[in-house]
Amino acid sequence: MTGIDAIAARLRAELASDQVITDRQQLRTYECDGLAHYKVVPALVVLPRTAAQVAAVVRACAEAKVPFVARGSGTGLSGGALPHAEGVLIVTSQLREILSISPADERAVVQPGVINLQVTQAATGYGYYYAPDPSSQQICSIGGNVAENSGGAHCLKYGFTTNHVTGLQVVTPDGDLVRLGGAAPDTPGYDLLGAFVGSEGTLGVATEVTVRLTRLPETVRTLLAAFRSTDQAGAATSAIIAAGVVPAAIEMMDALSIEAAEAAVHCGYPAGAGAVLIVELDGPAAEVEAQFDEVSRLCDENGAFETRVAADDTERQLIWRGRKSAFAAVGRISPDYIVQDGVIPRTALPEVLRRISAVAAEHGVRVANVFHAGDGNLHPLVLFDDAVPGEAGRAETVSGAIIDLCIEYGGSITGEHGVGVDKARYMPRMFSDDDLDTMQLVRCAFDPGGIANPGKVFPTPRLCGERPGRRQGAHPLHETDVAEVF
């Protein structure tokens, strides 16, 4: 009996029959996440319903030295939940209880399979919400958000998942249930919570998440400003930041992405716009009004030829609809596309955009730009037609060149989608060997056997338990055939 067969047999005895999947056809359902061009059929899928069951699955993996991958809703865009062919895929979708909502403590405790938006929906009645709002918030899970440190349109002001998670219960790669952080702030000891959030499933599986709830703002004002060029829109963004205003969001779309959104959802953005900015301010009414006037003025001064203000929630939704649909909308104007995610210092925006368009022109590829302009997080959409020989390759080249630009300008290879399997090869361009080795020290502390989501984030893992420069002979992991999977 192989390791996997033994695990399957053991789990069948402990769990209900519909929680353990070995049928090849059913396994195929889980072969990819949101980055669908990477596909691996897992050897076994398990759907635990309790934290104890997650721990039992991981313990079985640890004892058999079999890798495991955790998956939430499978909306990730870096292949972080790509299964392992000889491993177990732990799907957290059955762990979907909101365990408590405590407005007085400004906390909610939820299971990892709870959908991001459900937390906000559960808290709204009390006057609170869960601030991180990735575009996929209607379907993505909190557990996945924790793994990826998900952001969203409003993280310019409110921060990311890591700023809103105060406590976790996790299953370590040994199969132990451990609490990191808690409902109160500043838990003594190393901030392992901070290291765990965003570790992309390589340090364990979150089984319970304590999140901070944020008071709903008194007022929200949303403005759409149309410019002739992205340079003008970029200048307006700089002026807003320079004026000391920190909006909840500043989003930018260029002409091509506006065209796509128009074709898909008829958002009715001003005709002839080379770029639009969506600026949202929230907070106490008196503050927002004063800042709103200033933002409007700064947009006008920087060349906005039309400015629209959402009069109510419906108009606000309409303004956002174009932006939030942008990724999918690109499908209307191109058969295939790559969603890129990189970060640059915001002030480099005009220069980087010019260089992106130069690279795109050089390779004869179209690039639609959508970005969180306030924090320099770019989401260029590289368009291609896979049916045309050579186009996919050229699109890949342009997409890679954009990442190189982000690194060249002192930014990051990923702002919110994660490294996953897709960008592990770029990590050595952003970090030195010693930097990556240091991250591996944490990995080795949590997962000395290297069984938690191997092959993600890091191009070459450290072999734990050995000091550098003293390596001799074959590593035990090689001998047991585990190391090849890295």
Partner 1 sequence: MSVLDDLANKAGDDDTVCGVPARLVAAPATTEEAAALIAETRDLAVVIRGSGTTLHHGPPPRDLDLIIDTRRLAGVVEHAAGDLITVVRAGTPMAELHCLPGQQLALDAPPSATAGGTVAANTSGPRRLRYGTARDLLIGITVVRPDGRITRAGGKVVKNVAGYDLGKLYTGSQGTLGLITECVFRLHPVPPATSFVRAIAPATRAADVLAGQFAASALEINAAPGADPEIAVLLEGTEAGVRDRAAALAGLLDGEVTDEAPPWWNTPPWPDGGLGLKLTCVLSAVPALVTAAVDAGLTVRGSAGTGVLHAGGPVRPASADEAARLVGLLRAAATTAGGHAVVLTAPDSVRDRLDMWGPVPGLELMRRVKEQFDPDHRFAPGRFVGGI
Q: What tokens appear for 14 in the block?
A: 């402990």
How far apart are CB 41 and partner 1 at their closest, in Å? 27
Of 180, 224, 260, 359, which one interacts with partner 1 (CB under 8 A)? 180
Q: What tokens appear for 405 in the block?
A: 């630009």
- Helix (H) or strand (E) run with residue 6 in it: helix 3-14
**376 binds partner 1 per the rule CB under 8 A:** yes
- Write phi, then psi, for 39 (nearest 5 degrees): -135, 130
Of 67, 303, 411, 461, which one interacts with partner 1 (CB under 8 A)? 411
CB neighbourhood size of 387 (10 A):
9
66 vs 403 by CB, closer to partner 1: 403
How far apart are CB 138 and partner 1 at their closest, in Å? 21
Of 346, 363, 366, 379, which one interacts with partner 1 (CB under 8 A)? 346
Q: Are 279 and 222 in contact (CB under 8 A)?
A: yes
**352 binds partner 1 per the rule CB under 8 A:** no
**434 binds partner 1 per the rule CB under 8 A:** yes
Distance CA 68, CA 205 (A): 10
Q: Are 385 and 345 in contact (CB under 8 A)?
A: no
Provide the CB-side half-sphere exposure for 388 (13 A, CA): 13
Of 9, 16, 184, 361, which one interacts with partner 1 (CB under 8 A)? 184
**102 binds partner 1 per the rule CB under 8 A:** yes
283 vs 331 by CB, closer to partner 1: 283
Length of the chain counted residue by residue: 486
Q: Do the bridges between strand 44-46 and strand 88-91 make them parallel or antiparallel, or are there none, so unpaired?
A: parallel
Q: What tokens appear for 261 in the block?
A: 């959104």
**291 binds partner 1 per the rule CB under 8 A:** yes
Contacts of partner 1 in 292-311 (CB under 8 A): none
Provide the CB-side half-sphere exposure for 343 (13 A, CA): 17
**343 binds partner 1 per the rule CB under 8 A:** yes
Q: What tokens appear for 7 in the block?
A: 């695990």
24 vs 467 by CB, closer to partner 1: 467
Of 272, 284, 335, 476, which one interacts with partner 1 (CB under 8 A)? 284
Q: Are 322 and 257 in contact (CB under 8 A)?
A: no
Which stretch, 40-48, 57-65, 83-91, 174-182, contacts partner 1 (CB under 8 A)? 174-182
How far apart are CB 147 and partner 1 at their closest, in Å? 10
Which stretch, 82-90, 242-250, 271-279, 317-325, contacts partner 1 (CB under 8 A)? 242-250
**238 binds partner 1 per the rule CB under 8 A:** yes
